[in-house]
């Protein structure tokens, strides 16, 4: 039995792919996208990969039309697509700023804008944005990335206030250090220094994040909206 349709941007690896698998295992039909063509490692009729550039509104409109024709418009939207282009501010190029903002922030606007109308029509929906603790505490060399994620937190709160009466919740998940491509560059000493700062004494996993996203999409989370929930092992406490 199909519980509903889920759309996940940035689903070709890491956190996005883990989220897709958790929804699929819980009987949702999942459309997962990436800027480049990809396939899910797991074969399932409930996992549908699509190539999509979240910064291209014409491509998004074509995607919307295709999903509508196949009765796959999502009740649950997970905005996970994101990039980094780290550089100290004085050395940061204009394109480093523009590309990160375009994907991490404008991409969320583009997808939310086109899919939310159907949620409003159905008086039900979940929008879950994947942010970062960098957007809450800042990070040297990530003025562009931290700015995009901080803005995403504000986007989430404002949109939640607008659509709450339509039975649509909007929340943010802000991962800390997660075992992924973004931490693979660290040497053993660097990893140990970071782990020493984390009260739970380890990096998180993509599955940790996916479980939280699945909960926020569930009926049990129907009274949670406008929140940015850190999942960081206690790294950021305030």
**Of the listed 145, 185, 223, 238, which one is catalytic?**
145
Model confidence, pTM: 0.96
Whether 236 maps to a domain, the answer reads no
CA distance 8 to 20: 7
Whether 238 maps to a domain, the answer reads no
Confidence at residue 185, expressed as pLDDT on a 0 to 100 scale: 72
Q: Is 28 a catalytic residue?
A: no
Neighbouring residues of 87: CB distance < 8 A, sequence distance ≥ 6: 93, 96, 141, 144
Whether 96 maps to a domain, the answer reads yes
Whether 129 maps to a domain, the answer reads yes
Whether 70 maps to a domain, the answer reads yes
CA distance 46 to 51: 17
Count: domains in the chain: 1
Whether 81 maps to a domain, the answer reads yes
Whether 237 maps to a domain, the answer reads no
Partner residues linked to 155 by β-bridges:
none
Whether 127 maps to a domain, the answer reads yes
Confidence at residue 227, expressed as pLDDT on a 0 to 100 scale: 98
| CATH number (domain holding residue 212) | 3.40.50.720
Confidence at residue 181, expressed as pLDDT on a 0 to 100 scale: 65
What is the pLDDT tens value at each position of the chain, 238 positions in all?
A: 889 999 999 999 999 999 999 999 999 999 999 999 999 998 999 999 999 999 999 999 999 999 999 999 999 999 999 999 999 999 999 999 999 999 999 999 999 999 999 999 999 999 999 999 999 999 999 999 999 999 999 999 999 999 999 999 999 999 999 997 666 777 888 888 889 999 999 999 999 999 999 999 999 999 999 999 999 999 998 6
Sign of the CA dihedral with 205 first, then 207, 210, and 211 last:
negative
Displacement of CA 44 from its chain's centroid (Å)? 22
Domain extent, residue 224, equals 5-231
């Amino acid at each position: 039995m199909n519980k509903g349709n889920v759309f996940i941007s940035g689903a070709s690896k890491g956190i996005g792919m883990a989220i897709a698998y958790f929804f699929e295992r819980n009987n949702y039909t999942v459309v997962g996208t990436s800027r480049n063509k990809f396939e899910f490692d797991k074969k399932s009729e409930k996992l549908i990969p699509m190539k999509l550039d979240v910064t291209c509104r014409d491509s998004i409109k074509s995607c919307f039309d295709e999903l509508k024709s196949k009765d796959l418009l999502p009740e649950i939207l997970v905005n996970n697509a994101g990039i980094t282009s780290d550089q100290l501010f004085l050395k940061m190029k204009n394109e480093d700023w523009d590309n990160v903002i375009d994907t991490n922030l404008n991409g969320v606007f583009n997808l939310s804008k086109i899919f939310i109308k159907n949620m409003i029509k159905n008086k039900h929906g979940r929008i879950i944005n994947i942010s970062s603790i960098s957007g809450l505490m800042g990070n040297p060399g990530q003025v562009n990335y931290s700015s995009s994620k901080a803005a995403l937190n504000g986007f989430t709160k404002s949109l939640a206030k607008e659509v709450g009466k339509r039975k649509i919740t909007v929340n943010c998940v802000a991962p800390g250090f997660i075992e992924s491509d973004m931490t693979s560059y660290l040497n053993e000493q660097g990893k140990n220094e970071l782990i020493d700062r984390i009260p739970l004494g380890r990096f998180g996993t993509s599955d940790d994040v996916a479980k939280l996203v699945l909960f926020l999409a569930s009926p049990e989370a129907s009274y949670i909206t406008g929140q940015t929930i850190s999942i960081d092992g206690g790294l950021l406490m305030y």
